[in-house]
Amino acid sequence: MKLTKSEEQLMELIWTHEKIFMKDILSSYPDPKPAGTTIATLLKRMQDKGFVAYNTLGNSRQYYALVKKSAYFSKEVNGIIKNYFNDSALQFASFFTSSSNITPDELEDLKKIIDDEIKRRAK
C-alpha cells in the first residue's frame, strides 16, 4: 500500500516522534497549519492502510507507526527500480550516479559502502 504525499509528510512526523498526540502533530506543521479535521482524515486513511495505530490516553489519542520507515522506503525504492529500471538495480545505480548532483566525495563514500557490502556478502 502506498502513501500520498500528504500522508508521507504526516508519517514522517510520526516516525520522528515515535509516539505523538494530535496537538503535537498540529503544532509541528508550519503556518498556515492544516485543519484538525484534515489531519484526522489523513490519520484515519493511514490507519485503514495499516500504517498507524493509536493508544487512547484519557480523551486523547497517541499515534504510533505500525510500519518502519526503512521498510516503507525500501519497498518504494524497489518499486521504482522494478517499474522504471527493468527491475535492474545496476541500471538504477548507473542512472543515479550519472544523473544526480552527487559530489566526488559522495561517490567515494558510496564506493566504500558498496565495497563493504561486497565483503559482508562474501563471508
Candidates 57, 26, 50, 59; CA nearest to 40 is 26
pTM summary value: 0.78
79-106, pLDDT tens digit by residue? Answer: 999 999 999 999 999 998 998 899 999 9
pLDDT at 55: 97
Count other Cβ atoms within 10 Å, centred on residue 54: 16
Given a cut of 90, whether residue 66 has pLDDT beyond it is yes
Provide the grid cell at 96.
543515479
- Residue 123 banded pLDDT, cuts 50, 70, 90: confident
Report the run of H or E that residue 9 belongs to, with start and end: helix 5-17
Burial class (CB in 10 A: 0-12, 13-18, 19+), 111: exposed
Provide the grid cell at 71.
521498510
pLDDT at 121: 94
4-62, pLDDT tens digit by residue? Answer: 999 999 999 999 999 999 999 999 999 999 999 999 999 999 999 999 999 999 999 99
Task: Calculate what percentage of the chain has a pLDDT beyond 70.
Answer: 100
pLDDT at 1: 79
For the segment(s) 5-65, the CATH number from 3.40.30.10, 3.90.950.10, 1.10.1040.10, 1.10.10.10 is 1.10.10.10
Task: Give domain limits for the chain.
Answer: 5-65, 69-122
Candidates 24, 79, 71, 23; CA nearest to 50 is 71
